[in-house]
Amino acid sequence: MRQNIMFMPHISLPDMEFLNQSVLSHFILLGFPVTKGIQPFLFLAFFVIYFMSLTCNLLIMAVAYWDQKLHCPMYFFISIFSFLEICYTSVTMPRLLRDLLSDDKIIPIQFCVVQFYFLFVLGSTENFLLSSMAYDRYVAICNPLRYNSIITHRACVFLVLGAWMGGFLAPLMPLIFLSVSAFCGSNIIDHFYCDFSPLLHHFCITDGIYIIETIFFLLACIVILGNFVFISTSYGLVISIIAKIPSRKGRRKTLSTCGSHLTVVCLFYGSIIFMYVRSDHSTPTQVDKVVSLFYSIITPTLNPLIYGLRNEDIKQALRRAVKMIKKIQISSITFL
């Protein structure tokens, strides 16, 4: 008996907690807990939003590709941004629409972790891309004589590839940590997608929570605040140049070239700074869910409308496209 006691393996307190809990294999996304009578209306509303987002972003991409007058760096970045928004909304919206029509809201843990990763890949990429677009506007306004030699097609491709590479690398460490972690406790997530905070509160062993929370906070500060400071500095220099333009008309015309981008930046950073640049990721609240809805669904839907409605070049390109389509239709009818 004494020998058996001597050779028993040492089990620490966290390990004992782990052994006493059942490891989860799936989560249940609560989404928006409304009555079944309201679910179809909510589904219709989100479907319209998603459809508008896809249609408007695809339209901007098509116009930027086919219209020769839009073959410049500014619209190259806008078309890439539209493609990014399509991917961004498609990470969460199809699942949300499915859950609104189904009682089965189960999502396997592997799919949950993958959704988390791609959501933050695309979010990080959007940060870097917005910085690239701000740099483009800075060079165009502050150094116009050298614009064509600095912002070349090669430089644009390099900036876009750098944005995507930074986006894929930024959440890699949290992904690895989540992939090897076990999840215990309640399998209910009070959210409509797998966000970082809900996953954080389902770890079996709580010893590593502080470490991963600190890593995630530092990454958020680097990616979000780093790009926000860069964009703010760029536009600070741009505004200082615009203020020196003598004519009011000239100032307004110059500012209009970056007005859409500034609006998008304010909408995007206003919500994600509140959500992720905080050291204490306490239990998610309904406010967090609403803010998440704003930056992951509402803002990507508004962005193409902002670029389309506020940008005179895109509106003129759309008019030219409509006239061309009408001419083709008339020609085909005449031929028949």
Alpha-carbon gap, residue 35 to 121, rounded angstroms: 34
Is the pLDDT confidence value at 267 over 90? no
Q: Looking at domain 24-311, does it have CATH number 3.10.20.30? A: no
Average pLDDT over residues 264-282: 79
Candidates 11, 16, 26; CA nearest to 184 is: 26
What is the pLDDT, as a whole number, of residue 8?
A: 36
- Kindly give, in sequence order, each residue whose CB lies less than 8 Å from that of residue 195, ignoring residues fewer than 6 positions away: 116, 119, 284, 288, 292
Of residues 185 and 269, more confidently modeled: 269
Structure tokens at 51: 């459809």
Q: What is the mean pLDDT of the chain?
A: 83
Of residues 180 and 161, more confidently modeled: 161
List helix spans (H) across the chain. Answer: 2-6, 13-19, 39-66, 73-101, 109-142, 147-150, 153-169, 172-180, 196-200, 209-220, 226-242, 248-276, 286-293, 299-310, 312-335
* Local confidence band at 5 (pLDDT 50, 70, 90 cut-offs): very low
Candidates 150, 142, 89; CA nearest to 258 is: 142
Structure tokens at 121: 């890949």
Is the pLDDT confidence value at 11 over 50? no
Out of 70-74, 169-173, 176-180, 309-313, which region has the weakest mean confidence (pLDDT)? 309-313
Is the pLDDT confidence value at 327 over 60? yes
* Local confidence band at 284 (pLDDT 50, 70, 90 cut-offs): low
Of residues 197 and 61, more confidently modeled: 61
Candidates 110, 284, 94; CA nearest to 181 is: 110
List helix spans (H) across 67-208. Answer: 73-101, 109-142, 147-150, 153-169, 172-180, 196-200
Is the pLDDT confidence value at 250 over 60? yes
State percent of the chain over pLDDT 70: 87
Q: Report the predicted TM-score, pTM, of the whole model to 2 decimal places.
A: 0.86
191 neighbors 29 (Cβ within 8 angstroms): yes
